[in-house]
C-alpha cells in the first residue's frame, strides 16, 4: 500500500537531520499502533462490511436483473461491485492520510466520515456529510426494523395471530435498545459475525431451492424486453445493493491496523459478489418474468425457503446494529458523552 505523507516544507539547500526525522517518524508509527492495538482485526472488519452491505438488497436483485435486461444486469452488478470496492479503498486511504498529517486524528474518532470532509473542504463539508449520513443510516435502520418485524410476524402468525408487524416493530426496537448503547464496532463484534453468517446461509438455501424448482419446472422460462422505465428502476436497485459505505470509516476507525482496511474491503466485496451472483442468476434463469420483488416469495414452500426467511430476519436485526452505530456515535459526539459511560450514552440516545 502506498505511504502517504505531508509535503516537505524545508528548503532543499538547507541541511536536514535524518536522525531527527527517523525518530519523529518512528514515534508517529508507534503512537498509531498503540492507539489501535485494542481494535478489531482485518477479518472482523471484513465481516462487518459483508454483514452490513450484503443482505436485504439481495432479495430484490433477481427481479432487478430481469428488469434490466438479464445479462446486461449481471454485467452492471459486477461493475458496480468493482466501483463500490474502489470507493471503499479510497475512503480507507483518506483516513490514513488524516492520521499521518493530523495528530488529533490518531485517537478514536466518533465521526470519522465528517472529519474527512472537514479536513478536505472545511466546516460546511462536514455538516453536509454528517446530515447525509444521519438521514441515510437512520432511514435504512428503520427499513431493517420494518422488514425484520414483518418476517417475525409472518413466522409467528399462527401462534400470535393478534399481533401485527407494527407491534413486532416496537418489540424488536425495545429489545435492541441496550445493544445500541455499545460504543463502537469493537464492542459488538458478534453482530458482524451473525450478520455475515446468516446472510451466507440464507443465500445458500435460496440458491438450493431455486435449483430444485428449476429441475421440477416443465414450462419454458419467460423472458421479455423491458422498457427504459423498468431499466432505470432496476438500475437504482442494483446500486442500492452496494449501499453502505457510510459505515466504512467507522469500521476502519476501530481496527488494530487501520492501514489494512484495504484488505478488509477487498475480502468483503469478494464474498458479497460470491453471494450475489448465484442468487441473482439462479432467480433469473429459473423464474424469469415470474420472479417476485422479494425472491423468497418466488420459492416453493419448503424447509429450505422457511429457514432462508428465518436467517434473513436474523441478519436484518444484526445488520441494524451495525448501520445505526454511526448515528449513535454522532449523537454522542454532539452531546459530548464520555466514551466509558454507557448509562450516559443511553440517556443521549
For 106-130, what is each residue's pLDDT tens digit?
887 889 999 999 999 999 999 999 9
How far is residue 146's CA from residue 196's CA, in Å, rounded to a whole number? 20
Instruction: State the alpha helices, DSSP H only, in the chain.
Output: 18-36, 42-53, 57-67, 71-101, 112-121, 123-155, 165-180, 189-216, 228-240, 248-252, 261-287, 303-334, 342-348
Stretch 136-141: mean pLDDT, rounded? 89
d(CA 92, CA 73): 29
What tens digit of pLDDT does each residue of 221-275 get?
777 888 888 999 999 999 988 988 889 999 999 999 999 999 999 999 999 999 9
Contact present, 246 and 113 (Cβ < 8 Å): yes
Q: What is the mean pLDDT of the chain?
A: 83
Q: What is the pLDDT of residues 77-102, one digit of tens each?
A: 999 999 999 999 999 999 999 999 99
Mind listing the pLDDT tens digit for each residue in 146-199? 888 888 888 888 888 888 888 888 999 999 998 888 888 888 889 999 999 999
pLDDT at 20: 45
The pLDDT assigned to 218 comes to 61
pLDDT at 15 over 90: no
- pLDDT band for position 207 (50/70/90)? very high
Q: Provide mean pLDDT across the span 29-50.
A: 71
Residue 39 · residue 264 · CB < 8 Å? no
Amino acid at each position: 500500500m502506498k505511504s502517504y505523507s505531508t509535503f516537505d516544507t524545508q528548503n532543499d539547500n538547507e541541511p536536514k537531520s535524518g536522525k531527527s526525522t527517523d525518530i519523529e517518524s518512528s514515534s508517529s508509527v508507534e503512537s498509531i499502533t498503540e492507539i489501535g492495538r485494542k481494535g478489531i482485526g482485518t477479518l472482523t472488519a471484513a465481516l462487518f462490511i459483508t454483514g452490513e452491505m450484503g443482505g436485504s438488497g439481495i432479495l430484490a436483485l433477481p427481479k432487478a436483473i430481469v428488469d434490466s435486461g438479464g445479462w446486461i444486469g449481471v454485467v452492471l452488478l459486477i461493475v458496480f461491485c468493482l466501483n463500490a470496492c474502489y470507493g471503499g479503498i479510497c475512503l480507507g486511504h483518506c483516513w490514513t492520510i488524516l492520521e499521518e498529517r493530523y495528530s488529533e486524528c490518531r485517537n478514536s474518532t466518533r465521526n470519522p466520515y465528517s472529519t474527512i470532509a472537514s479536513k478536505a473542504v472545511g466546516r460546511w463539508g462536514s455538516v453536509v456529510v454528517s446530515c447525509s449520513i444521519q438521514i441515510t443510516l437512520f432511514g435504512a435502520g428503520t427499513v431493517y426494523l420494518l422488514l425484520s418485524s414483518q418476517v417475525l410476524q409472518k413466522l409467528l402468525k399462527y401462534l400470535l395471530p393478534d399481533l401485527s408487524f407494527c407491534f413486532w416493530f416496537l418489540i424488536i426496537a425495545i429489545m435492541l435498545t441496550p445493544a445500541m448503547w455499545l460504543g463502537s464496532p469493537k464492542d459488538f463484534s458478534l453482530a458482524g459475525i451473525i450478520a455475515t453468517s446468516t446472510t451466507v446461509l440464507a443465500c445458500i438455501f435460496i440458491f438450493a431451492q431455486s435449483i430444485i424448482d428449476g429441475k421440477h419446472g416443465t414450462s419454458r422460462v419467460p423472458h421479455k424486453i423491458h422498457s427504459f422505465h423498468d431499466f432505470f428502476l432496476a438500475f437504482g436497485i442494483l446500486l442500492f445493493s452496494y449501499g453502505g459505505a457510510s459505515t466504512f470509516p467507522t469500521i476502519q476507525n476501530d481496527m488494530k491496523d487501520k492501514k489494512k482496511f484495504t484488505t478488509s474491503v477487498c475480502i468483503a466485496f469478494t464474498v458479497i459478489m460470491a453471494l450475489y451472483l448465484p442468487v441473482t442468476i439462479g432467480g433469473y434463469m429459473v423464474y424469469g418474468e415470474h420472479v417476485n420483488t422479494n425472491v423468497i416469495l418466488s420459492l416453493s414452500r419448503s424447509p429450505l425457503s422457511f429457514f432462508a426467511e428465518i436467517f434473513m430476519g436474523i441478519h436484518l436485526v444484526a445488520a441494524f446494529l451495525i448501520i445505526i452505530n454511526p448515528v449513535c456515535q454522532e449523537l454522542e459526539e454532539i452531546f459530548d458523552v464520555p466514551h466509558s459511560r454507557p448509562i450516559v450514552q443511553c440517556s443521549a440516545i
